[in-house]
Structure 1
Amino acid sequence: MPWQTERQQASDTLFKAFLVQLVVEADVALSSAAGDDEDDLYDLEALSDDESDDDDEPPLASQTILETLAGIHINHYHSEREPIHKSHSHLHLLFYDWKFNSPEIFRSYLRMTPACFDKLVESISSHPVFHNASSNLQMPVDQQLAIALFRFGHYGNAASTVKVALWAGVGFGTVQLVTYRVMTACCDESFRRSALSFPDDTTKAEAKQWIEDTSCYAWRNGWLMVDGTLIPLYARPGFYGNTWYDRKSNYSMNVQIINTPSLCIVDYCVGLPGSQHDATAWEETRMFQEHGSLLQDDEWIWADSAYPLRDWCQSPYKK
């Protein structure tokens, strides 16, 4: 079951009590209207005595519960907030020093080169999620992307909202928000098609030549490779959690990657649970579904023994 805050637990309990009390009061009101004895269940003189003064009527229990429920949600924070000192020094060093003078440090933080980072910023900057009509402008897209990439590049406690927020010098909620925006932009189909394109003839010829040089001429037409990898999740997902439990005893996500020998990614598939077998997971890729129009009759993809044997998908481990 998904984790709930104390506020949500109290809210759910009061809401259920409110519904139950409404049913009880409605039942008593119907009984009173039918001439039943008013003292059989509750003393609800306020419901039956139309001549009494409204100011003297005690509030109904349902009304009291509803007011208590409203009181829970009237304030965003229930406990007293203490300021936490934060600084943007890490982001400043990242963008104005390490990016130009120490690219290896930049890469260690964001898991990509400065050139690749700039290209990614350019690709997602025009997405509507980074633009709004509010007078409060969003953070620059490059800073939002950097926070999300820093979070993606860490695991366990280092990837927690608190640690990432303190590193970037932003609010805890901002970390969640920028992560959502970046993922929304990167999962958009328009980004997928703009970021990935099938290799041209020159790239294909270079890949075939590499295969021939490292193996033999007969294998040169197998110029693409496919494999799956498991991306560990920080915790068990709240919905259908067991389906994400993989063979390595982790909760993970199955990611399929099709690439050239130069590690240029041609196609990918993300979002499938870790329990999904590679043979069925890769059926969701464009390469599997459109291989007839992407590959020539004498070309194929290299795969391991987890993938089904086809004329266009060969495994060196199968006879």
Structure 2
Amino acid sequence: MLLHVVHATTYDYAPAVKTAQHVAHLKPADRFGQRLVRHSLRVSPEPVQWSESVDVFGNTACFFGLQSTHERLHVVADSIVSTAAPTAPHDSLPWEEARERLSYHRGAEYDPAAAFLFASPYVPRHQHFLEYARPSFRARRPLHEAARELASRVHADFAYASQATDASTPALEALALRQGVCQDFAHVMLGCLRSLGLPGRYVSGYLLTEPPPGQSRLVGSDASHAWVSVYLPAERGPGMWIDLDPTNNRVPGEDYVTVAIGRDYGDVSPLRGVIHGGASHTLHVAVTVAPLPEGEAAPTIADPNDKEHA
């Protein structure tokens, strides 16, 4: 599927911001079974500093600095991404055996997935997560089956409530509230996996805005979305990561676009920065993801004040 993604972010400041430095994770990944066809990032006012780098998780991070006084920051990421249905998971090991394979043993071969076993700033390992996860992780149950049920339980037990939490809400607080947004659903599930000794990574991205006829609109389809990747070790050789979306209780498909992966939201927030001034601000975010017929050129959103960086 060919998808056209437009992610527009606008900050209005009062009083004006004098200088600012920002980091953006807005460039869709050119991996994970998808292909980045085209990408541009337009920023107004015009940055005086601009650079792109790849972070420790393989994500593209864009840094830009602003030195002119401004009352508004406008950032538009415009991308075309070719997506495909995910590979079906292999028969997974019992979850206890999978955990054992990722545990440290002297002389054992290192598996990069082990980097996602540990607590992170938003997601601690905690007894409360263990207690919530245990009903799904019965003895000798295949890991894929247990993780799928855990995602379904989070979907059923938690209410989607956009005003209940914010970007800084810790996963334990979301677990206690039993409500939140996609970020919270992902953080809770990650807390459960890691507390069991299983790797889990946070995935940021997008959903198709308007589903095909006859299909219901998914939660999170008009904003950035977040879901979870679970690692399935193999009997021999490298294992595989599978994605699960607890917010919508489904396996992400070709109607999903992956932007970045990390330990939690803090690693992959779409836009963050440090500003001098702007004691208060209002934020407006608009995301549109639309299918694009093969060979058709995508329209662009023009703004004469924007500077475009491919």
Give TM-score scaled by structure 2 length: 0.21
Higher helix share: 1
Greater RCO, 1 or 2 (C-alpha within 8 Å, sep 6+): 2
Give TM-score scaled by structure 1 length: 0.21
